[in-house]
Copies of this chain bind each other. A is one copy, B any other.
């Protein structure tokens, strides 16, 4: 019986407090020097609670308070790292990582404890470890291709560390999509390039262009160049979306959407819709990286979390095109269960409800 288990048995009240402070510490780590109210708003806790906890953490020397906000002390970082370890052990994410890697033939899997769907702070963790992973693999002169999406946007936003300063070129792998500027591949490329201290290129083209115009657009030199660049990328960082959500975001009409669903589309990545087996069900006549271009990219990194995305992740990983997957525990566990089920009976009944 584990030390932590024993504690929880003897002092069950501990759990709440420990988890709350762990969340606060993680938020402080990610959000750098941050104010009390900002944290409050970010974590959805009450101001007073956050304050009391911060007072205690400060008294314990884990966080430092300055005029620009609180931030982790060196000791706090050590303690937090140990808490991370403990959480990983408690949830056995290492086992999950190994299992997922085995099933989908991945080079590397990183699973963050928790579930982005029920706890927003988990998503911050996930995108931050994605950032750290990027830091660890990018070298001078590398080209990094990125797609759009809320997750990718957050990766760019929360990219950790100050001066990376490797001469990396960031290029969008896809054209523009939807109205929200914050989650465009272009915007993300810019933000990431800033954080990385590298340069970027923009893809001045919409993603969903009518087929007859595609060829014409591809003749544009500035567009052609950027696409050519993205095909030579060393790393592709892409998100994964559920088929429904992406269809909605692309503004597909109801008929097309129904058709997608009917053909079993559950996941989307870089313009392609896949069914649970990883087969292409539909692809946008799109401007940008094509699926077969991935063969020349040495690291295709998927980032997505939240148990609601499990089907989508299952679909995309099943393509066998990804090398690395960064996700969270909630998604990973459900992906595992789905994989088990589809293996034996080819389908799962009613797995769309949200368990706890």
Contact = CB atoms under 8 A, between A and B. Distances in A.
A291 interface: no
Nearest to A57: B10
Contacts of A14: 7, 11, 14
A195 interface: no
A62 B10 contact: yes
Nearest to A10: B21
A1 B60 contact: no
B1 A4 contact: no
A61 to B, nearest CB: 8
Contact of A17 (B6, B11, B56): B11
Interface stretch (A75-83, A111-119, A294-302): A75-83
A17 B79 CA distance: 21
A13 interface: yes
Interface string A35-77: 0000000000000000000001101101000000000000100
A216 interface: no
A210 to B, nearest CB: 57
A338 to B, nearest CB: 34
A10 B79 contact: yes
A86 B18 contact: no
Nearest to A24: B10
A57 B17 CA distance: 18
14 contacts: A1-B78, A1-B82, A3-B82, A6-B83, A6-B86, A7-B14, A7-B18, A9-B60, A9-B79, A10-B18, A10-B83, A11-B18, A12-B59, A13-B17
Given A10-B83, A13-B17, A13-B56, 14 more contacts: A3-B4, A3-B82, A6-B82, A6-B83, A7-B7, A7-B18, A9-B62, A10-B18, A10-B22, A10-B25, A10-B57, A10-B60, A11-B18, A12-B60
